[in-house]
A and B are shown apart, each in its own frame.
Chain A
Amino acid sequence: MKPSPFQYHVPLTVDDAVTILNNVAPDDGHILAGGQSLVPTMAYRMANPAHLVDINRVAGVDSVGVDNGHLSIGCLVRHAAFETPVIDGPIGDLLPKVCHHIAHYPIRRRGTFCGSLAHADPASEWCLVATTLNAIIELRSVRGTRMVAADDFFEGMMSTARAENEMLVSVRLPLMKETERFGFFEFSRRAGDFGLTMVLAVYELAGGSIVNPRIGLGGVEDRPSRNAAAEQILAGSAPSDAVFVAAAEAASASVEPMEDIHAPASYRRHLVKAGVLSALRQTVQ
């Protein structure tokens, strides 16, 4: 449980970080932010980066702000920043509800929102939020900045569209309208464990009908995803338990769940149904 040797770099600005990363990335260099996934992985020697670019002293990237209809989250914003609402309105309420499921408080004090996205664990709550809400991810390299939609960002199990020399600088979450409703479900074996299944359900209610439904599933397949089958059933319907059940069953039937020692595929499939139903029922409570 002692990591392999590595070289340690401590940039003070984003530009420096990106420059160093550009130099060391081909030589197995990685960014260290909160370290709540990377460091244990290094301790187990499942990751053996030759260089660590520790961005914890980079200035000016630790705040949450509103920018052009988006909530902008800097790359050193810790999970714990969302323990309470950072903004009024539905998204302000949603984020704390999700945040409380992320591991335990000491971990939330160190781990970062952006780090979770870069790590892309299928059971990451923030990856689910980013996917469901159509987040935009800002990647910077020595060549410049590019914006990637969450849907294009997550490519598989701990695999993303980020190039090895790119730094995830910020995430932009579209603000939610006052008419948007949401529900969140997560089940884990113990409090704070990785979720075996997570569901984030969001929709608008217009004229008594569901508009723009987004049913995000996390912890089920190799990456977070929206569930088209459930969304199709919900779109245009009036919220009712029968519609919710139908959506839950459609979601459950359409997934191809992962298996691990805590949950065979059949159990995850069941949890998807239970979770979609639970998340949708919360929207009318």
Chain B
Amino acid sequence: MAKFDPDVSVIGQSVARLEDPPLVRGQGRFAADVSFPGQLHMRIVRSSMPHGRIVSIDTTATLQMPGVVAVWTVADIADIPPIGFRDTRVEQLEPYRQPVLADGVVRYVGEPVAAVFADDAYRAEDAADAVIVEFEEWPSIMTADVTAEFSPGHSTEAMVVKQGYGDIEAAFGAAYAVVELDLSVGRHSGVPLETRGAIARHDAVNDIIELHGAAKVPHRNREQLARMLDRPLSSIHLFEGHVGGGFGVRGELYPEDVLVCLASLRLGQPVKWIEDRREHLIATNHSRQQRHRIKAAVDRGGQILGLDDVFFHDQGAYVRTHGARVLEMVSGMLPGPYRIPAYRIAGHYRLTNKTPCATYRSPGRYEGTFVRERMMDAVASRLGLDRVEVRRRNLISQSEMPYERDLQALGDDVIYDSGDYAGLLDRALDRIGWPALLRQVEQRRHNGELVGLGLSMFVEKSGLGPKDGVFISVDPQGDIEVVTGGASLGQGFETVIAQICAGTLGCDYRRIRVIHGQTNRIANGIGAHATRATVMTGSATQVAAWKLRDRALDAAAELLQADRADLTIADGEVRHKNQRLSPCVALGDISAWISAHPSGTDAPGGLNAEGWFHTEHMNYPYGVHIALVKVDPSTFAVKVERYLIAYDVGRAVNPMMVEGQLVGGLAQGLGGALFEEFLYDDRGEPLSVTFADYLIPTLHEIPAVEVLLTEDAPSPKNPLGIKGAGEGGVNGAGAAIASAIDDAIQCSGAVTALPVTPARLMVLMAAAPKNPAAKDRSLSVADH
């Protein structure tokens, strides 16, 4: 970590995180740390039935138990609508929304059926156990390969998301070869160490409901809650404390959030709910599970002429807040860094009797990259070409930027803003020492080791608009407050915003207090999701800091009776540019002076400024992952020996934190590739309900990750050139590890499904041909 140097712009320096002191001193304030006098504890009675009708719910015994205040079933909240979609409105999906409490039918094990409120968390759980729910069991649908009736008049296939461009029929007609693959990604998800939590209280004096434990998108959830509870927007406020990991799943609006708000109002006492781990693994959003049937038309030289994909998305029991966004991102982003002149994709959005799915770090891209990069390997194998060369031949070149595709992702036209994909590939291969590594692997293989190299390339997206705003003010002592509508999930948001503010303004970043996730401090905010915070809130901060700087210089020119053009701001003081010993004035003093001498143009309350940043389109960072793995021939365990993430972030505000994002992301990507999987039995009983079943990789399983962070292609879409870093460590991991395993066992195309568990690898290796000349048996190839 670089030492903070006040003479160098703090933007781009790996300075220490502002967030850390309270966290390392045990002064964190996570959801469970929030309590209010007289609070009740809520415990959810969850369905033990994967699919069925609720025949009866008997709460008689529960209501007699000590400390129990109320038990709610759907009848008690009949006025509350199901949970809607946050950013998209898809009428077709509305019949599939989740009710806050099961409405006569249960569709997954874990679905909230009743809520118990008691004076103590233990008593609440005892009481919840005493609620007797009688079910009539219905057949469960546990695969997205089939469809059935969801509800009268509605199929379990909620919609088919289609995108495409170019003449796909012509591309396949002209193909030298067609390569077809059937690929699957397992069900896994973000599993933050802090489970969800929601604590609500009703401030009767002002008639305001406060919801604590908010994360990710407090402002958007506030709007949603106001609609659902039919209350004025100004009567609900959300408050974010420390958040022990988000990853997409935390901070969405879930049934429990709605229940605590409503209960605080109706029961007249604060209500606290803290999710336990078993609940987390069956109630919080799952993700990823898809099966793709993809085919590529290629010419003799390995150029892809067309890509045609049909995929099946195993959504689970309901459509949650994201609507169809994961499918939209798969379909809009699957072509990645390659030219692909013709493209057609159809995503079948299908409901099953499992925990509902939504976004998880790099949603749709982890899946899409696995599929696309498996295809690139398969094309290389089919044509007898080098894996790297095939990729190189298909890459979009720097001269083609900006590169527009007739595709959409997150409701935005996909226009790659900048990038030098081939350049990053070269740098990545150079960094890892690819030719030497190939020789080493060959040598070790000769000595009997099952070692292999894999790579993947991908394009990420970041900086979802349309706008974000911040308000900066300087107090009389010179401390600076930046009020944002952003959110912190532990990613270093405060530090990044403080660095941008400090670097623009000319002060010490440690004197900046960054406010986030408090809806009572700022009216607007889109939170922290879709790798947008640094791009959007960061750029808005820069705009506001410029304005504030202007105002400070105006005021100082008057105070110092100097020419404004001769003044600059450094270390929180306005001073002459060239004369170090001349009079100067501190920003705090300027603020005090403005307060005392308001002019018509100044905002009230001293030195302050509001700034907004708007953008039409997202921007597109990109990366290369390279993995070296070793397979143990006696246990079929896969060890990742080396891992390189090369990633172009446009401009790194804090390289140390960017690296942290990438390495942390890789841990999750590796988990999905080798360990993590939510499994169910045939009837629909979840089998991965503890950390002994759902295996998150630990330090023992994660290699020392090498990071090549580049700034070759700054985004033209914002003044600092920033692109996001939140998802680049996850994106290519499944693809690179799969590729490396194929190479290790010398069977191209062997890995068709993630995660690659030892038991599955045993089966793959038993089926693999011993003769290296017949490598392609898992590929179905047709010549034209």
Contacts and interface: CB of A to CB of B under 8 A. Distances in A.
Nearest to A191: B700
A60 interface: no
Main secondary structure on A side of the interface with B: loop
A193 B690 contact: no
A194 B690 CA distance: 13
Interface in B18-75: none
B278 A44 contact: yes
B759 A193 contact: no
A2 B278 contact: no
Given A187-B635, A270-B762, A193 B692 contact: yes
B690 to A, nearest CB: 7
Contacts of A262: 695, 757, 759
A16 B126 CA distance: 31
Contacts of B636: 267
**Residue picked from A3, A190, A194, A271, most chain B C-beta under 10 Å:** A190
Nearest to A1: B276
Contacts, number: 61
A223 to B, nearest CB: 19
Interface string B617-641: 0000000000000000011110000
Contact of B700 (A2, A190, A271): A190
A189 B692 CA distance: 10
A69 B9 CA distance: 73
B138 interface: no
B129 interface: yes
A263 interface: yes
A267 B126 contact: no
A156 interface: no
B758 A267 contact: yes
Contact of A274 (B121, B122, B635, B698): B635
B781 interface: no
A207 interface: no
Given A1-B277, A189-B758, A267-B759, A261 B690 contact: no
Contacts of B675: 189-190
Interface in B639-687: 675, 679, 687
Contacts of B276: 1-2, 43
Interface string A248-285: 00000000000001111011001100100110000000
A146 interface: no
A57 interface: no
A278 B759 contact: no
Contacts of B690: 40, 44
Interface string B300-335: 000000000000000000000000000000000000
A192 B692 CA distance: 10
B701 A45 contact: no
Contact of A192 (B693, B700, B762): B700
Contacts of B126: 4-5
Contacts of B695: 189-190, 193, 262
Given A5-B122, A262-B759, A263-B759, A274 B634 contact: yes
A270 B758 CA distance: 11
Contact of B635 (A40, A43, A271): A271
Interface string A163-190: 0000000000000000000000001011
A190 B277 contact: no
Contacts of B278: 1, 44
A40 B693 CA distance: 14
B703 interface: no
Interface residues on A, range: 20 to 34
Contact of A2 (B122, B679, B688, B697): B122
Contacts of B129: 4, 45
B125 interface: yes
A2 B635 CA distance: 38
Nearest to B674: A189
Contacts of B634: 274, 277-278
Contacts of A192: 698, 700
B679 A261 contact: yes
Contacts of B125: 2, 45
**Residue picked from A43, A44, A189, most chain B C-beta under 10 Å:** A189
A260 B657 CA distance: 40
Contacts of B762: 266-267, 270
Contacts of A3: 122
Contacts of A5: 122, 126
Interface in B337-395: none
A264 B759 contact: yes
Nearest to A273: B634
B731 to A, nearest CB: 23
A194 B693 CA distance: 10
Contacts of A189: 637, 675, 695, 757-758
**Residue picked from A190, A261, A266, most chain B C-beta under 10 Å:** A261
B762 to A, nearest CB: 6
A187 B637 contact: yes
A193 B692 CA distance: 7
Contacts of A45: 125, 129
B701 A191 contact: yes
B16 to A, nearest CB: 29
Contact of B692 (A1, A194, A267, A271): A194
Nearest to B274: A1
A43 B126 CA distance: 12
Contacts of B698: 190-192
Interface string B267-295: 00000000011100000000000000000
Contacts of A277: 634
Contacts of A264: 759
B759 A190 contact: no
A138 to B, nearest CB: 30
A29 B679 CA distance: 34
A237 B690 CA distance: 46
Interface string B391-434: 00000000000000000000000000000000000000000000
**Residue picked from B276, B634, B690, B762, most chain A C-beta under 10 Å:** B634
Nearest to B699: A191
A40 B697 CA distance: 21
Contacts of A40: 690
Nearest to A264: B759
Interface in A187-209: 187, 189-194
A194 B695 CA distance: 12
A178 B126 CA distance: 56
Contacts of A44: 278, 690
A187 B634 CA distance: 10
A263 B695 CA distance: 13
Nearest to A40: B690
Interface string B743-758: 0000000000000011
A122 B701 CA distance: 25
Contacts of B277: 1
A5 B697 CA distance: 34
A271 B632 CA distance: 12
B503 to A, nearest CB: 42
Contacts of B688: 261
A197 to B, nearest CB: 9
Given A44-B690, A193-B695, A266-B759, 9 more contacts: A1-B276, A2-B121, A2-B125, A3-B122, A43-B276, A190-B697, A192-B698, A261-B688, A270-B762
Interface of A: 1-5, 40, 43-45, 187, 189-194, 261-264, 266-267, 270-271, 274, 277-278
Give 8 nearest A-B pairs by CB, closest first. Answer: A1-B276, A191-B700, A274-B634, A267-B759, A2-B125, A2-B122, A187-B635, A261-B687
Interface of B: 121-122, 125-126, 129, 276-278, 634-637, 675, 679, 687-688, 690, 692-693, 695, 697-698, 700-701, 757-759, 762
15 contacts: A1-B277, A2-B121, A2-B276, A3-B122, A5-B122, A44-B278, A45-B129, A190-B695, A190-B701, A191-B700, A262-B695, A267-B759, A271-B635, A274-B634, A277-B634
